[in-house]
């Protein structure tokens, strides 16, 4: 199985003639993704400062409108514009921290309106970045009932200054991402100097633009990253550090929200190399290879515009459980598998089966009567570890009447409890491991201890015996 973006890449690369009817039936059409780009633009008083022989706002406006013209009319793309610092003139000792406004809402054809608004904007006030980001959360319209497309909400913040209203834009950004309202924003610093550059790195993916030419380059790069996916290969490494493991289900989660982004079965190409995936570079991922136990990597980032390699330690070997059960594997006894020294159940494996496990040591508990433990089982890279489970036998306990009792296994001179008899039944059947046993029983009608009955019996694998009481 492939992810939506991956399938689109494959389908585009193949002609319809190459697709068999079976493939066409098993790979349904993928839902399109809607991308919403919200430009949060600094229009504070400082944007009037000269930048390469012209006001910053003029240079920034020219670059922004040129970039918007290049992407205007693209399908499944909506653009909006929020400005801040443009409504209230800043005065000594006085600033309007609510000076932020959505000037052009989202629509497929918003570029002409953005172009017109940018031509008339005046740079007057302060720099309320945190409050602008907070209000921007409401700028993204909810997905309608009839629109089943996935939506990518992206903020591109363009600023020539840092937060001026004693608020925390980094905390606001993290909260919006954690709620799944937006993806990690892009932040472009327009002529920022010194430590100002580093104060905004926590808001999102930060890019420094020291000149109008750099701003032009950076904005094109950011828009390209926002609109395009990138290629990745996932290397599942064996214990020798070689990407030889495959055929493992893998899930990419959004690290912040926990939502699934991609599910697929890891595949090798015809050349024996890990297959190429196409994924969204705007997410930070939690990658889980569903081995036993799972292999997990946290906080995985991919870079747009280049091929990325993600590695996971996933060395595996096979554990074969073998029994000569006379009743067939469908009536076999399940085996609990635990990591060596850990009480929690990792897996339950059926008898006469082979399962793959991460390389390491495991403790087994066979759900026989009595329980059988097999400690320190060593699973090695690309090898088969075979464990033989003893074949049980069957004992039929036939009392003279209903009554309480129990079966014990002989351990030297000691008796160890195995199972109780059902006091409401006049016949009992148990599957027991080979060994020496004792049954102790008393009829309900016998009201004195001296009437208790005990009998010894021996169980042989694959055989059935009857014990009359």
How do the residues of the chain divide into helix, strand and coil, expressed in percent and rounded to 5?
20, 40, 40
Query: Residue 148 has what pLDDT?
Result: 67
Cross-strand bridge partners of residue 135: none
Sketch the domain layout of the chain as residue ranges. Answer: 33-227, 230-313, 316-389, 393-468
Query: Residue 31 has what pLDDT?
Result: 53
Query: Residue 191 has what pLDDT?
Result: 82
pTM: 0.69
User: Do 393-468 and 230-313 fall under one CATH topology?
Assistant: yes
Q: Report d(CA 20, CA 25) in Å as an integer.
A: 9
Burial class (CB in 10 A: 0-12, 13-18, 19+), 343: exposed
Query: Residue 22 has what pLDDT?
Result: 32
State both tokens at 447. Answer: 């009201």
Query: Residue 98 has what pLDDT?
Result: 95
Q: Report d(CA 443, CA 165) in Å as an integer.
A: 86
State both tokens at 340. Answer: 């060596």
Q: What is the DSSP letter of 113?
A: H
Q: Report d(CA 30, CA 229) in Å as an integer.
A: 16
Burial class (CB in 10 A: 0-12, 13-18, 19+), 157: buried
Q: Which parts of the chain have pLDDT scores under 70?
A: 1-32, 143-148, 324-332
Which CATH number applies to 316-389? Answer: 2.60.40.1120
Query: Nearest 5°: phi and psi at 35?
Result: -105, 130
Orientation angle between helical segments 212-227 and 56-71, nearest 10 degrees: 30
364 within 8 A of 336, measured Cβ to Cβ: yes
Query: Nearest 5°: phi and psi at 46?
Result: -65, -20
What ranges in 189-280 are assigned the alpha helix state H?
Answer: 196-199, 212-227
Domain 230-313 has CATH 1.10.1060.10: no
Query: Residue 146 has what pLDDT?
Result: 65
Give Cα separations from 363 to 49, 193, 323, 335, 341 (angstroms).
71, 60, 18, 10, 7
Q: Which CATH class is domain 393-468?
A: mainly beta
State both tokens at 66. Answer: 């040129």
What Rg, from alpha-carbon coordinates, does the chain have?
Answer: 34
270 within 8 A of 231, measured Cβ to Cβ: no
99 within 8 A of 84, measured Cβ to Cβ: yes
What is 139-201 written as a DSSP string? TSPPPPTT---EEEEEEEEEESS---SS--HHHHHHHHHHTTSS-PPEEEEES--TTHHHHTT
Question: What would be the CATH architecture of the domain defined by 33-227?
Answer: 3-Layer(aba) Sandwich (3.40)
85 within 8 A of 44, measured Cβ to Cβ: yes
């Amino acid at each position: 199985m492939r992810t939506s973006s991956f399938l689109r890449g494959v389908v585009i690369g193949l002609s319809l003639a190459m697709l068999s009817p079976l493939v066409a039936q098993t790979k349904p059409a993928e839902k399109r993704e809607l991308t919403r780009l919200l430009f949060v633009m600094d229009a504070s008083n400082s944007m009037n400062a000269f930048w390469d022989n012209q006001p910053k706002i003029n240079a920034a406006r020219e670059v922004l409108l040129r970039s918007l013209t290049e992407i205007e009319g693209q399908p499944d793309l909506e653009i909006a514009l929020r400005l801040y610092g443009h409504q209230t003139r800043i005065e000594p000792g006085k600033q309007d921290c609510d000076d932020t406004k959505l000037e052009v809402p989202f629509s497929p054809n918003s570029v002409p309106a953005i172009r017109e608004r940018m031509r008339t904007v005046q740079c007057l006030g302060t720099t309320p970045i945190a409050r602008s980001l907070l209000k921007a959360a409401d700028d993204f319209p909810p997905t309608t009932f009839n629109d089943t497309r996935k939506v990518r909400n992206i903020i591109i913040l363009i600023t020539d200054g840092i937060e001026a209203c004693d608020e925390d834009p980094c905390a606001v950004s993290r909260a919006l991402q954690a709620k799944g309202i937006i993806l990690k924003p892009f932040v472009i610093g327009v002529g920022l100097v010194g430590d100002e550059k580093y104060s905004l790195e926590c808001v999102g993916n930060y890019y420094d633009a020291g000149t109008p030419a750099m701003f032009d380059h950076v904005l094109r790069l950011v828009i390209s990253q926002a609109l395009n996916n990138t290629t990745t290969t996932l290397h599942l490494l064996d214990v020798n550090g070689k990407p030889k493991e495959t055929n493992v289900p893998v899930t990419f989660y959004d690290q912040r929200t926990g939502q699934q982004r991609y599910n697929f079965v890891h595949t090798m190409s015809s050349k024996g190399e890990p297959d190429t995936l196409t994924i969204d570079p705007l997410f930070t991922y939690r990658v889980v290879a569903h081995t036993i136990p799972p292999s997990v990597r946290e906080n995985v980032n991919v870079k747009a515009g280049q091929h990325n390699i993600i590695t996971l330690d996933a060395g595996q070997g096979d554990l074969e459980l073998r029994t000569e059960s006379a009743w067939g594997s469908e009536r076999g006894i399940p085996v609990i598998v635990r990591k060596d020294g850990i009480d929690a159940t990792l897996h339950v494996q059926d008898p006469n089966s082979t399962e793959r496990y991460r390389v390491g040591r495991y403790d087994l508990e066979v759900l026989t009567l009595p329980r059988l433990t097999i400690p320190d089982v060593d699973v090695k890279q690309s090898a088969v570890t075979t464990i033989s489970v003893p074949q049980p036998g069957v004992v039929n306990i036939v009392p003279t009447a209903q009554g309480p009792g129990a079966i014990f296994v002989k351990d030297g001179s000691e008796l160890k409890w195995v199972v109780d008899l059902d006091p409401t039944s006049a016949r009992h059947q148990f599957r027991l491991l080979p060994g020496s046993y004792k049954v102790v029983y008393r009829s309900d009608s016998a009201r004195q201890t001296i009437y208790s009955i005990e009998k010894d019996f021996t169980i042989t694998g694959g055989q059935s015996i009857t014990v009359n009481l």
